[in-house]
Every structure is written in structure tokens, then in C-alpha cells.
């Protein structure tokens, strides 16, 4: 759902299920995207990135999909584990912008054992 | 990836005082940035720390309030000046390593202003 004020979108899944976290980005000139994971009390941790000349990139248990037509990014986590519980942020950048990242609102993922 | 150390990890400060946050990287990096994360919110870029010259500030952030230093390729400081409770946030250092586009973050400084 949409975030209002201090409320983050939330996603609750069962352990072992696959998770899909979505992000709509705003700048059609953005050509590089990163997903970060932020656990409570910690800084954002790099998960995976993708350039705009790709529409899919896979890592270990994670896949990022990019749809430039509708300016949409998603992060898929396979076989979600309790350690995946965190806030996930997408971030966009134009590589000609001196590496200034614009962050999305974030999604709180809760994995139930 | 670069190892980024931020000090202090947290602090509680009085209104009207200033706090300087340090960011130390274990290797030379091309770019360093400072972000703010207000409670329950996403991250917002404050400024790009330029080595040997004045920082480049984003809209809504000014040097008098957030002076930044970057004396070399591995170290930067951010000062939060004349603090008010509205400055209570997490302040994060970010770096771009020498190769590639990836940007990494420190663990942040949790600041509370009373």
C-alpha cells in the first residue's frame, strides 16, 4: 500500500516463501538502480544493482527486474528467511549526476517463522 | 567493498550545541557523501564532500548549518551546528569506491537533540 507520513509500506511473508518488493521510480533519466537492505540500527547494505540497459539481474537468492516503460523496479527474494526481515529501499541515479542517489520510501519486510 | 567507520555511533545533545561526525574509510575512494535519515523516513542527500574544496550542498541544506570537511581521500567530517530537536536523525556517510558505480554506507550516527 501507499505510505502516508511515517508509515512504511509493509510486506509480511512466511519463512520459505518468495517475496516481491516493488518500487516506482520518478526520473526517466535515471540509468542505474540499487536495492539496499537496512536492518534496525544499521546503515543500508548493498544488495544488488542494475543498469538501465538490462531488464533483469540475478544474485544469490535475489533477482531485480526493471521495467523502464512504466518506471518500475522490483526485488524478488527466493526462499525468504527470518534474517531477511528489514526495510528495503530502492535507489535511482543518473550516472551523469555525480553519483547522487535518490531513495524510494522503503518497504518493511517481516518474515514469520 | 570499502569498510566505512563512523563515529560516534550515537549521541544525545543539548539544543544549541554542535556535533561533529567522523567518517573513515579503509581505502581511498573517489567520492564521499553525507545523507540524513529522519525517523521512519527514507534517506536524503545532504551534500557531496569534495576533497580539498568546499562541499556541494543539495537544496535545503546550507554550509552554515552542516559544515563538511574532506581533507583527504579516506576521511570526512560532518558538523551539525546549533542543533534543534528537528535535527534528530540518523546521519550516514556513503562512499563510491575507486572502481564501479556501487555506493556503500557506514553504520550511521543516531543523533537525538533534547
Q: Residue B8: is the preceding peptide bond cis (ω within 30°)?
A: yes
CB B93 within 8 A of CB B105: yes
- The pLDDT tens digits for B83-100 are 999 999 999 999 997 777
- DSSP assignment, residue B69? E
Q: How far is A34 from chain B (nearest CA, A)?
A: 8
Say what the pLDDT of residue A4 is.
34
Q: Which residues of A27-62 are buried (b: 16+ CB within 10 A; e: fewer)?
A: eeebbbbbbbbbeeeebbeebbbbebeeeeeeeeeb
Say what the pLDDT of residue A7 is.
63
- The pLDDT tens digits for B3-34 are 999 999 999 999 999 999 999 999 888 899 99
Q: What is the 3-state secondary structure (H, E, C) of chain A?
A: CCCCCCCCCEEEEECCCCEEEEEECCCCCCCEEEEEEECCCCCCEEEEEEECCCCEEECCCEEEEEECCCCEEEEEECCCCHHHCEEEEEEEECCCCCCCCEECCCEEEEEEC
Q: Do B42 and A103 touch (CB under 8 A)?
A: yes
Strand order, beta sheet including A19-24: A19-24, A72-77, A62-67, A56-58
A1 touches chain B (CB under 8 A): no
CB A3 within 8 A of CB A9: yes
- The pLDDT tens digits for B30-81 are 899 999 999 989 999 999 999 888 999 999 999 999 999 999 999 999 999 9
Residue A13 has pLDDT above 90, yes or no: yes
Residues in chain A: 113
CB B3 within 8 A of CB B102: no
Say what the pLDDT of residue B30 is.
85
Cell, residue B90: 540518523
Place of cell 525517523: B39
For residue A43, the chain B residue with the least C-alpha distance is B107
**Cα dist from B48 to A69, B5, B30, whole Å:** 31, 18, 11
Give me the mean pLDDT over the A4-29 stretch. Answer: 86
Give me the mean pLDDT over the A76-81 stretch. Answer: 97
B59 touches chain A (CB under 8 A): no
Other Cβ atoms closer than 10 A to A10: 12
CB B80 within 8 A of CB B64: no
Mean pLDDT taken over chain A: 91
Place of cell 519486510: A109
Q: Which residues 51-110 of chain A have a CB within 8 Å of chain B?
A: 89, 91, 93, 95, 98-106
Amino acid at each position: 500500500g501507499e505510505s502516508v507520513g511515517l508509515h512504511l509500506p509493509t510486506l509480511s511473508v512466511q519463512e520459505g516463501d518468495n517475496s516481491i518488493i516493488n518500487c516506482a521510480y520518478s526520473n526517466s533519466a535515471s540509468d542505474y538502480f540499487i536495492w539496499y537492505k537496512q536492518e534496525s540500527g544499521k546503515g543500508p547494505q548493498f544488495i544488488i544493482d542494475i543498469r538501465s540497459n538490462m531488464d533483469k539481474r540475478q544474485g544469490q537468492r535475489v533477482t531485480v527486474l526493471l521495467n523502464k516503460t512504466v518506471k518500475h523496479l522490483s526485488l524478488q527474494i527466493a526462499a525468504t528467511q527470518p534474517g531477511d526481515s528489514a526495510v528495503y529501499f530502492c535507489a535511482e541515479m543518473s550516472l551523469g549526476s555525480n553519483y547522487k542517489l535518490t531513495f524510494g520510501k522503503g518497504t518493511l519486510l517481516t518474515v514469520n517463522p | 567493498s570499502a569498510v566505512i567507520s563512523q563515529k560516534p555511533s550515537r549521541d544525545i545533545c543539548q539544543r544549541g550545541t554542535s556535533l561533529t561526525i567522523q567518517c573513515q574509510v579503509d581505502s581511498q575512494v573517489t567520492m564521499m557523501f553525507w545523507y540524513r535519515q529522519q525517523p521512519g523516513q527514507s534517506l536524503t542527500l545532504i551534500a557531496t564532500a569534495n576533497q580539498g574544496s568546499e562541499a556541494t550542498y543539495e537544496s535545503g541544506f546550507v554550509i552554515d548549518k552542516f559544515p563538511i570537511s574532506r581533507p583527504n581521500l579516506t576521511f570526512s567530517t560532518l558538523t551539525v551546528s546549533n542543533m534543534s530537536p528537528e535535527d534528530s536523525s540518523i546521519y550516514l556517510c556513503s562512499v563510491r569506491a575507486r572502481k564501479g558505480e556501487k555506493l556503500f554506507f557506514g553504520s550511521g550516527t543516531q543523533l537525538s537533540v533534547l
